[in-house]
Amino acid sequence: MDAMARNRDRASELRSRRVRELGAEVLDVAEFELAIAHLRVPELV
C-alpha cells in the first residue's frame, strides 16, 4: 500500500493532464494492488 500512496499524486497529475488533452470526463477512479506470479515448472517426461 505504501507504493500506491507514494505514487498517488503523480498518477492524479498524469490522469488530469490527459483528461484535459483529450477533452474526456473521468467517471470513476479506483486503486488496487495487482500481484502477478510467473512460475516456471519443468515438464516431466
pLDDT tens digits for 7-33?
Answer: 999 999 999 999 999 999 999 999 988
| Residue 36 belongs to domain spanning | 1-45
Report pLDDT for 30. Answer: 92
DSSP state of 28: -
Distance CA 45, CA 40 (A): 16
Q: Which residues contact 32 (CB under 8 A, 6 or more apart)?
A: none
Residue 1 pLDDT > 70:
no
Q: Which residues contact 36 (CB under 8 A, 6 or more apart)?
A: none
Q: Which residues contact 1 (CB under 8 A, 6 or more apart)?
A: 33
- The grid coordinates listed for 13 are 497529475
Domains held by the chain: number: 1
